[in-house]
Amino acid sequence: MSDHLLTSLVDWSRLQFALTAIYHWIFVPLTLGLSFIVAYMHTMYFRTGKEEWKESTKFWMKLFGVNFAIGVATGIILEFEFGTNWSNYSWFVGDIFGAPLAIEGIFAFFLESTFVAVMFFGWDRVSKKFHMISSWLTAFGTNLSAVWILVANAWMQSPEGMAFNPDTARNEMVSFADVVFSETAVHKFLHTITQSYLLAAFFVIGISAWFLLKNRHTLFAKRSVLIASIFGFLASVMVAVTGDGSAYSVAKYQPMKLAAMEGLYNGQTKAPLVIVGVKKENDDAVGIKVPGILSFLSTRSVDGFVPGINDLLNGNSQYNILSADERIASGKIAIQALKDYKQAMADGNEILAAEHKSVLDANFDNFGYGYFEDKAELVPPIGITFYSFHLMVALGVYFILITLLIAYLSYKDKFGNNKLLLKLSILNIFLAYLASELGWIVAEIGRQPWAIQDVLPVHVSTSHLSVGTVQTTFFIFLVIFTTLLIAELGIMFRLIKKGPNLNNQEA
């Protein structure tokens, strides 16, 4: 395959996977958070026996169900793409990456699928207690599915618990615990889950605000806002806390991503954090900065050194940072040593094979770098990473303040009196989705050009497909996913317009 066709294949494969992932993530975060809000309301119905709690539960349950169904459909396609579009990736690390996906499919998915049926169709068919418990088990099952997906993604960002087998040219799992409980996995799970809870809270607040603007189901809306705003405020604080942990992991394992997030070209101690700024070409971002904060967030010391893009490309002997050229040379040695090892084994020369394996082991940390010719390829798209990150952070700060305000006004029964705030609450639904997607843009675009950090580049991870095949399926998926989204929105708008089935309009 020519270089041009390979580049085109990689770009279209990336685009197709990005399309699927972005559409999939429209549906998933809402189900993760809304499931717990539904379970809480179901518990209130179980404890009080009041019909208004039952109808509130049913209303939010329907909206959960629509997103759940479409989320499952897009998620299945997303997982299949690892085999269809990224078969080299699947071959190279399938023994590790496949494990959490298999657990998610066999255990977590069947748990949530079983109890979601009881939750939806168990009214007056099973005991009230078991029915209420099924709502909680659905919520836990839904979130348990997310655990394994996020563990798999975190492993791509920071591969741990593996060993390379030169005989099969594949990476194999040596510690399941290291994969599941890695620092990156824990932070990614907590940050993503709490962000999803926050999105669901804004969803409930926004729809309830619409009812208040229409002067419909006011008691139902006020109750929903109070529950969701408290839930949302706690989630927004946890998003900030877990975001700090995620950034700390990025600083340790993906320093190039961190440099792109902050537009940092020249490493420094007491590195400032950009609050509001503009990315510059080949120089540090300019704007409002707080001295020392980036160093503290990255190293837990105000005096800590944070490497910039130039340090990572050109090296910095003072801080023992190899240059990209050195790592590329080491990677090429590792790749050649693997070829020589396999040839020696084929020739039956085990002594020579052992020598080559020793060279491979000594250089394997840079194995993935051997597939690059130009160090400039190691720099991710800085502009989109920088602006996506800072917009996401700004929204995060805003979310803490607005959820606290809504919770306070709701507790004082004054939320429904401010029409401007009610309208803003509807807009917040879209802002929450924007922040959610921005988070994934930072996570995935910021780690380019790696499919697996430092181990496997994206451009050697694809399947041997024709460009036309990927282009065709891309547009097919675009039409299907867009149709599903339009259908989902249409169903949800009808359900919202109809509202909960409450005889008392003030209930």
The domain limits of the chain are 3-261+382-498, 268-319, 326-371
- The C-alpha atoms of residue 59 and residue 41 are separated, in whole angstroms, by 10
Cβ atoms of 92 and 167 closer than 8 Å: no
The one-letter code for the residue type at 302 is: V
Q: pLDDT digit of tens for each residue in the chain (507 aa)?
A: 545 555 688 889 889 988 888 888 888 889 999 999 999 999 999 999 898 899 899 999 999 988 887 887 787 787 788 888 888 888 888 888 888 888 877 766 677 778 888 888 888 889 999 999 999 998 888 888 888 888 888 999 999 889 889 988 888 899 999 988 999 999 999 999 999 999 999 999 999 999 999 998 889 999 999 999 999 999 999 999 998 888 899 999 999 999 999 999 998 999 888 888 888 888 888 888 888 888 998 888 899 999 999 999 999 989 999 999 999 999 999 999 999 999 999 988 988 999 999 999 999 999 999 999 999 999 999 999 999 999 999 999 999 999 999 999 999 989 888 899 999 999 999 999 999 999 989 999 999 999 999 999 998 988 888 888 888 989 999 999 899 889 989 999 999 999 888 764 444
The one-letter code for the residue type at 242 is: T
The two three-digit tokens of residue 466, written as one number: 């024709």
Q: What is the pLDDT of residue 148?
A: 86
Question: Dihedral (C-alpha) 328, 332, 334, 338: value to the nearest 10 degrees?
Answer: 150
The two three-digit tokens of residue 468, written as one number: 């036309």
pTM, two decimals, is 0.89
The total of other beta-carbon atoms located within 10 Å of residue 412's CB is: 9
Strand runs labelled E in 96-152 = none
Cβ atoms of 191 and 23 closer than 8 Å: no
As a whole number of Å, the CA-based R_g of the chain is 25
- The C-alpha atoms of residue 462 and residue 13 are separated, in whole angstroms, by 7
Q: What is the pLDDT of residue 507?
A: 44
- The C-alpha atoms of residue 385 and residue 378 are separated, in whole angstroms, by 14
- The C-alpha atoms of residue 142 and residue 180 are separated, in whole angstroms, by 18
The two three-digit tokens of residue 229, written as one number: 């705003």
Strand runs labelled E in 215-342 = 268-269, 273-280, 283-290, 305-306
